[in-house]
Each structure stands twice: as C-alpha cells, then as structure tokens.
Amino acid sequence: MQSSKTPLTYTFTTLDAPNATLTTPTAINNAGEVAGYDGGMVPEHPGNVFSAFIYDNGIFTTINPPDATYAQAFGINDRGSVVGEYYGVGTNAQGFMYDHGAFTTIAVPNATFTQAMGINNKDEIAGIYYFNNQQSYGFIDNDGTFTTIDPPGSTYVIVSGINNHGQVVGYDVGGPPGYFVYDHGTYTYIVPPGGDIFTQNQAVGSINNKGEVVGSHLSNSVELGFLYDKGRFTTIAVPGAVATNAIALNDRGEVVGFYSDSSGVSYGFVDEHGTFITLDAPGATSTIPLGINDLGEVFGYYDDATGEHGFIATPSGGSGHLGSYLMREASGLGLHDFAPTRADHAARPAGGSGSSPPFAGGYFDALASIGQAHTIPPGHIG
C-alpha cells in the first residue's frame, strides 16, 4: 500500500439515528452537515419505512415533508438545503426540497415517479423521473422549470449529481451504455478505454466543480476506478486489491471509494493524488465511503456484528496535499478561501445565502438506494 511520508490519520464518528436499526448517510456539505435517511423494523419505523434527516455536530433532525409516510434525503448543498424523495398516503413518489424548515414538492408534470438526487449552491436540482414505471429520464429543476435529460437512444437514465455550473453526471442504458455529462444541452460520453461498463445497478458516478468525473468499470473482468478530466483518463487501482471502486471526489481532486482484498473484505480508501490511505472503521467487517467534502471529511457506512452504521471520518496531520491544506486551515490562513466553517454556517440567517464555495461533491448511496428507490412501499401508488 502506498503511503505518504506522514500519512493522514482519520477519526471515525459513528452515525446511529435514535430508534433506528439502519442509518444511511447520502451526502455531505462543506459545513460538515450530513443528509441521509434512517429506518428499520422497529415500532417507530413500521414496515421498514425510512425517514429523512440532517445530521450536524451530533444532532439528528428529521426532515420529512408534512404528509410523508416514507422519505429519503439524497443531496445537500452548502446552505444546508436538502433534496430527496417521499411518499404520501396513496400518492406517487415525489421529490422534495427542504430549506431551513420550508418544504417544496418537486414533481415533474404527469410523471408517476420523481426523485430529486442532488442540489448545487444555486439551488438547481437534478434527479430522475418516469411514467408508469417504464423508461426513466433525468431532469434539472431550475426554480420550477424542468429540463429533461434524455440521451439519444436511451431507455434508462440514472442521474448521480450536479455541480455549481449546472453540469450533470449520469449513466445511460440503451444508447451507448456508460457514463455521460450533460452540459446545457450537450452530452459527452465517458467510456474508459479498454473497459466494459457496469450494468445500471452498479453504475456510480460523481462530478466536481472542475468537471472532473470519477466512476468504475470492468477491465478484463477486474473492477477498476477511473478519473476523467477533459478527455484524459487516469486509472484508480489500490495496490494489491482484487477490485477497486471509485465513488466520489471533491474539488481538490481527492477521491474516495472502496476496494476488496483476496478474502472478499471491503475497505474504504482515500486517493490523495496517487497516494492511497485505507479507511477501516473500528470493529467493522466492511467500510464503504460514499463522499468527501473540501475539508477532507469522508462519510459513508460500515457493517459490524451489530448491523449497518453511518460514519464521518475526519482527517488530521499528514504532509501531503490535503494535510498541508488542513494545517493551513488550522492556522487560520486562507480559512474562507475554499469552504465555510461550521461557525460561518451557524451564523447565517435561515434562508440566507452566506458564502457560496464549490459544491462538495457528496453523493448518495447509489449501490443501495437505486433498488430501494424503485421499491414502492406497501399501500402506495407506483
């Protein structure tokens, strides 16, 4: 395993929502706030029904729309606005936006399913929708005006995220299968050289504010990650691993994902410009990072003998690129150049804009939630 001369170390904070048997974080912003959902087969969550939450500095806040019987949060921006999906009694799935206590329903006209997946600092929202549980499409919602994302020949579109420039990363099935970036009417396909693309339930992609994209593919039946930057591909492969999956990246180019060893155990990793750091939550049987913000805070989930738990891994020390940045932050130099502090965030009035640093690149748990998102809760309309 490659290591820097003075590697970063990470402190893990477990996220277990009260009265829930499952806690799944899905996104993090540059203030360290985490969005996600929790649930489980307990009296507070009958029938494995999920509730959306924001986690901030040890406190879980439930953010279910008023008429929701089931809700999941998938994206959060640096103002703390959250998007996701919910079901009401006898209703179709609809998206929602939560903004400091105010809820807005997001529903593509005539669609039977609308799911909001990501939100940038301009409050542009990306997601997916479909009619009668058939072909799916992507969308961008700009203050109630919807733009459809439908690559030529596609029959199934997954949208993963949106950056502050309105660029959307997604996955196309039916056209030229693979990742794409939608940029104001133009589609750019991202097909790693010499590699087969995963099926739609395995496709995970993330885009940062520089337009860099990470994802995973098969090369000679081996799972590898990749970084795409303006036509150039860089392979991401943890040394000694039998499989490497790149999940997300931040605006500083640090990539997170997970890898598997020869015994099939999965560990998380941070790729700091070619230097790999393993993330292994204490007592975990597997650790799966899902995103990273510009301060290097990593979120995800891990499994242990008691079940599944969310986590935040906070970095410290190190002499590499990120370590130098963290030292500069701690000294107060350039403190506001890249991201707001929690104090900055708390000082902003509700609904206020504050500063608008780059989107953190946090990402939903696509590997788990794509299947769940298309599973209709009992007693609801699909």
Which sequence spans correspond to the domains of the chain? 9-346+361-373
| Collapsed DSSP state (helix, strand, coil) of residue 292 | strand
Q: What is the pLDDT of residue 134?
A: 75
Higher pLDDT residue, 367 or 56? 56
**Homologous superfamily in CATH for domain 9-346+361-373:** Peptidase/esterase 'gauge' domain (2.130.10.150)
Tell me the pLDDT tens digit for each residue of 166-222.
999 999 877 666 899 999 999 999 988 776 665 444 556 899 999 999 999 888 888
**Cβ pair 293, 314 in contact under 8 A:** no
Tell me the pLDDT tens digit for each residue of 319-328.
444 555 444 4
102: exposed, middle or buried (Cβ count in 10 Å: 0-12, 13-18, 19+): exposed
The pTM for the full model equals: 0.83
- CA 71 to CA 84: how far, in whole Å? 7
- CA 84 to CA 32: how far, in whole Å? 18
**Cβ pair 264, 252 in contact under 8 A:** no
What number of other Cβ atoms are within 10 A of residue 59's Cβ? 8
**Cβ pair 74, 368 in contact under 8 A:** no
Position of tokens 């997001």? 106
| Paired tokens of 134 | 């058939």
Q: Give me the percent of the chain exceeding a pLDDT of 70.
A: 75
Around 80, how many Cα atoms within 13 Å sit in the side-chain half-sphere? 27
Tell me the pLDDT tens digit for each residue of 2-42.
444 567 899 999 999 998 888 999 999 999 999 999 986 44
Q: Give the list of residues 6+ apart from residue 347 with CB closer than 8 angstroms, or none.
A: none
**Cβ pair 227, 237 in contact under 8 A:** no
In our burial notation (b when 16+ CB lie closer than 10 A, e otherwise), range 192-230 reads: beebebbebebbbbbbbbbbbbbbbbeeeeebbbbbbee
Position of tokens 């560990």? 267
Tell me the pLDDT tens digit for each residue of 269-301.
999 999 999 999 999 999 999 999 999 999 999
